[in-house]
């Protein structure tokens, strides 16, 4: 699998998006790029997901495109066929990890317990998604949960309930590689074509990180 450090070497925030209409995919990606972020996670929660990935991969090669919420075999196959560059899931499924390994594509499984972290590590994953981050105990929980695995160089991408005011608390942890955020490009803003608001949210988040 591709080394996540090569893919996310300068990215601290991953916009997590839901796209209802594939025609919104390119303007959405352009709005995110304009804001200063070159990565996007398109969740497989609508029928427009795979086509949205295809369009961005074809027309905006500078954008790093991931597929999220990969919990069914059909969606996993669609994501890989669409030439996605990384995949994520809310949980840990060894079969999904193996499918992405065979495709030589990065996969980030979801974890919420120590046992799941150990299983992910045993399966070759040193970057995992801590989900749902806020509901599972937030920063204090992740700090305690990650401590026993620091010597293994395990890293986390907390996602779920994180917002502008809380993201830096996660990013301050040495074990956190990046955070996932749905507030950057809400489903409502995407559906309404409110691209300027999305660009503003991206710039605001990047400025907050610099502070």
Active site residues: 41, 129
Which residues does 186 contact at the CB level (< 8 Å), separation at least 6? none
CA distances from 45 to 36, 138, 210 (A): 25, 24, 32
HSE (CB half, 13 Å, CA atoms) of 124? 16
CA distances from 130 to 13, 48, 91, 108 (A): 14, 26, 9, 10
CA angle at 154 for the pair 18 and 178, rounded to the nearest 5°: 35
Is the peptide bond between 132 and the residue preceding it cis, with omega within 30 degrees of 0? yes
Neighbours of 162 (CB within 10 A): 24
Q: Which of 80, 103, 75, 77 is nearest to 90 (CA)?
A: 75
């Amino acid at each position: 699998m591709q080394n996540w450090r090569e893919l996310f070497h300068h990215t601290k925030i991953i916009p997590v998006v839901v796209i209802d209409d594939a025609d919104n995919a390119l303007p959405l990606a352009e709005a995110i790029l304009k804001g200063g972020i070159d990565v996007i996670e398109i969740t497989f929660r609508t029928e427009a997901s795979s086509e949205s990935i295809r369009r961005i991969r074809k027309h905006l090669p500078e954008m790093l495109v991931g597929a999220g919420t990969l919990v069914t075999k059909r969606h996993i196959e669609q994501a890989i066929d669409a030439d996605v560059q990384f995949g994520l899931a809310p949980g840990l499924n060894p079969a999904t990890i193996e499918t992405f390994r065979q495709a030589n594509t990065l996969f980030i499984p979801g974890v919420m317990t120590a046992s799941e972290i150990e299983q992910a590590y045993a399966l070759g994953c040193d970057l995992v998604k801590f989900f749902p981050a806020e509901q599972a105990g937030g920063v204090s929980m992740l700090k305690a949960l990650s401590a026993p695995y620091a010597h293994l160089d395990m890293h986390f991408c907390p996602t779920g309930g994180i917002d502008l005011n809380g993201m830096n608390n996660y990013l301050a942890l040495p074990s956190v590689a990046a955070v996932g955020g749905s507030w950057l490009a809400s489903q409502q803003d995407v559906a309404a074509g409110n691209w300027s608001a999305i660009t503003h949210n991206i710039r605001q988040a990047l400025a907050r990180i610099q502070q």
